[in-house]
Structure 1
């Protein structure tokens, strides 16, 4: 009966420990983070800008009405001008349709269409950046969770050394210095364990805020993600050049500014408009007035405003083009550095694994020698520190390598 109860308790415990996957963390962050929502609203804002610019193609219809409580009318009578005061009112409607403005409106509409693409790319870039941040927090939690386990075992080992040293002191085989030194090592191990817990909780707290959801203290993580491999291909740089969101944004920003420059230049030529109006007047006489025709409006002098606007748009296009070139150089430099770092981390991982195996062998030998009085507590602690540093160094190398891989994926525009 006790055995059955124990098995049921164990199964319930296993079922109670929920696994938080990396993909779940990413999905919830993208669904709940306020920055994502604000950039989504900017897309709607750019769509409204496009509709506003497109309205220049459509006829502009206005209705007007006016009532004058007192108006002076002038009329001739027998060669003499006479005046009379009376009330009057009028009501009517007018229509104005742009016929041709030398591509000023069409270039502006196309510019706002490009601006909508830029807004969508900005949202995609923010999502990719948010994914990169979530991966960093998740990897940090995995590393610190593993580090906590290493620190717990180290603390247990130091406590065992301390208890052993006390027993040997009691039997007269060791001095109080041995016991005191091991006790000091216990305190240091406790402090390091507390630091690991604090670092883990910081990453968990931040990720919880990103997800807008509490993360359980006993949550399970996908620790295997930390040890994934990365094999860069010859097309890695080309993928970044083709898919990087910021490069695309600079490209479309240049295109947008060139279209705005074209629109600003076209403003020098004016526009041809068709117009029509109908107005009913009720004054001293009642009559209807109709009007229809075509007008040509050419700006002769605007104080240099039109030229300045065209020049400003042209310079903006040049700036965004140079910014794209500068960003491309920065991306190439960052990619080269990341690839070099990954290669270095691979070698560090191999070295740490070999160091850990050697340190474990040395530690086991010295533990036996210490019991026989053939090694000092300093040698034992040094050997223990070597094992600890190798394990933590291996975790750190895996973490840094994973961060470099995550960064390359972000540069590729991976979400």
Structure 2
């Protein structure tokens, strides 16, 4: 019974780990931005249905009833009039035969727009994952910063207590104790700031994932994150959803230009109708034929639309080229930063090891009266700087890798 109780307590006290992938998946399921892009895909799909409707027959029914109407009838070289009621009912069918690929081009343009919407969704997911990664990493770093600040505060409190004892023994002056007390107050303030920053990071992360983050939850360490997803510039450009979207936009502008140009030639339609009429006489009529519709003059509208389509096509090409240059610039800059952060991490790690050894030596010398409180505080500050600097360097490194992931459309 005691063993079972101990196991239960141990399981309760074991902290829950909130993984990075859990946060990403929760954000992708609940974030309004993702829902907005999903709706855009549905909207684009319906636009395709609308464009394809021009290929299908259009049938309309019409009916008319006149309680009174004046009818004019010729009789003996004269016109006689008569008032009577009347009604008629009919149906009309119109089927497009050929419009010089205008409808075909519009359908292709709408299908391309749907592909653009899907790529935009992919880019939005990658961007959201990037933001979640940054916030998760920030929360982890701030949590570790709190632990560092707590140890720093504990060390300075111990130094203050030691100084008080040495002052009572006449081995140190009151200035030593006062200085350590002051450094303890500063350490408490820094700890409070770190705790506030951690709370902010958790709050923002909880907004991304759509649920509160419980107290005591642990964050996984990604400081040794491998660079396996890093690739060359060409592959990055091929995998970029933002660039793929612009490529599709160029295709769409070409289809729209073809559709606008085809508008000059009109269309050939098949027409059929049936009408039943009951007025002074009762009769029905049918019509089956082919109609040619060629726009001769539209006030310059078609010409202006064609020129507008040409401008749009060139504009999308220019936008694509600008994006390529921007991606190349950012990619190369990130690789340079990543290499620099690797060197910084090595330097900070070496600095931390040296600072630990220095702090131990200086503390021992201080107790023996061979070092001043200034040397002790300097050694403590050096170790604190190395610890926080190493955390910051790892954060910068991971942030750079996350940005490279985003450029390639990765949500992992």
The normalised TM-score by structure 2 is 0.97
Q: Matches of residues 201-220 of structure 1 in structure 2 within 5 Å?
A: 201-220=199-218
1:299 aligns with 2:295: yes
Shift of 1:6: 6.0
Cα distance in 1 for residues equivalent to 2:235 and 2:368: 62
Aligned twin of 2:126: 128
Larger deviation, residues 301-310 vs 258-267: 301-310
Q: 2:356 aligns with which of 344, 352, 360?
A: 360
> Which of residues 152, 155, 158 in structure 2 aligns to 1:157?
155
Which whole-Å CA distance do the structure 1 matches of 2:352 and 2:69 have between them?
103
- Picking from 320, 327, 330, the partner of 1:324 is 320
Matched, 1:405 2:401: yes
Return the offset for 1:250.
0.5
Report the equivalent of 1:28.
Answer: 26
Are the equivalent residues in 2 in contact too, given 1:90–1:281 (CA < 8 A)?
Answer: yes
SS in 1 for 2:270: strand
**Structure-1 residue corresponding to 2:272:** 276
Q: Secondary structure at the match of 1:284?
A: coil
Distance of aligned partners of 1:55 and 1:349 in 2 relative to their CA distance in 1, 3 Å threshold: same
Counterparts of 2:329 and 2:31 in 1: how far apart (Å)?
31
Deviation at 1:311, TM superposition (A): 1.4
Assess, with a 3 A threshold, how the Cα gap between structure 1 residues 5 and 157 changes in structure 2: closer, same or farther: farther
Structure 1 gaps of 5+ residues are none
In structure 2, the residue matched to 1:251 is: 247
What's the offset of the Cα at 1:159? 0.7
The C-alpha deviation readout for 1:66-86, integer Å capped at 9, x for no partner, is 111221110011110111111
Deviations 1:187-232 (A, max 9, x none): 1111111111111111111111111111111111111x12223267
Q: CA–CA distance in 1 between the matches of 2:56 and 2:165?
A: 96
1:195 aligns with 2:193: yes
| 2:94 aligned counterpart, secondary structure | strand
For residue 148 of structure 1, what is the aligned residue in structure 2? 146
Distance 2:290 2:11 in 1: 86
Which residue is equivalent to 2:10? 10
Change (3 A) 1:231 1:42: closer
Maintained 8 Å contact 1:139/1:226 = no
TM-score (norm 1): 0.96
Cα distance change of structure 1 residues 5 and 107 upon mapping to structure 2, 3 Å threshold: closer
* Equivalence for 1:230: 227
Q: Does 1:241 align with 2:237?
A: yes
Aligned length: 411
Tell me, what secondary structure is at the counterpart of 1:227? coil
Could you tell me whether the CA contact under 8 Å between 1:272 and 1:294 is conserved in 2?
yes
Q: CA RMSD in A?
A: 1.5
Distance in structure 1 (CA, Å) of the matches to 2:304 and 2:189: 66
C-alpha change, 1:296 and 1:137, in structure 2 (3 Å) is same
Displacement of 1:2: 8.8
Helix, strand or coil for the counterpart of 1:229?
A: coil
**In 1, distance between residues paired with 2:36 and 2:194?**
35
C-alpha distance in structure 2 between counterparts of 1:87 and 1:226, whole Å: 90
- Structure 2, unpaired ranges of 5+: none
Does structure 2 retain, via aligned residues, the 8 Å contact 1:92–1:279?
yes
Distance 1:291 1:377 in 2: 108
SS of the equivalent of 2:73 reads: strand
Deviation digits for residues 144-174 of structure 1 (CA, Å, limit 9, x no counterpart): 1111111110010011111111111222222
After superposition, the Cα gap between the structure-2 partners of 1:97 and 1:6, relative to the gap in structure 1 and judged at 3 Å, is closer
Moved more, 315-324 or 398-407: 315-324
Structure 2 partner of 1:336: 332
Assess if the C-alpha contact under 8 Å between 1:121 and 1:248 holds in 2: yes
Aligned to 2:365: 369
1:114-151 CA-to-partner distances (Å, cap 9, x unmatched) read 00000111111000001101110111111111111111
Counterpart residue number, 2:379: 383
How far apart, in 2, do the equivalents of 1:394 and 1:180 lie? Answer: 30
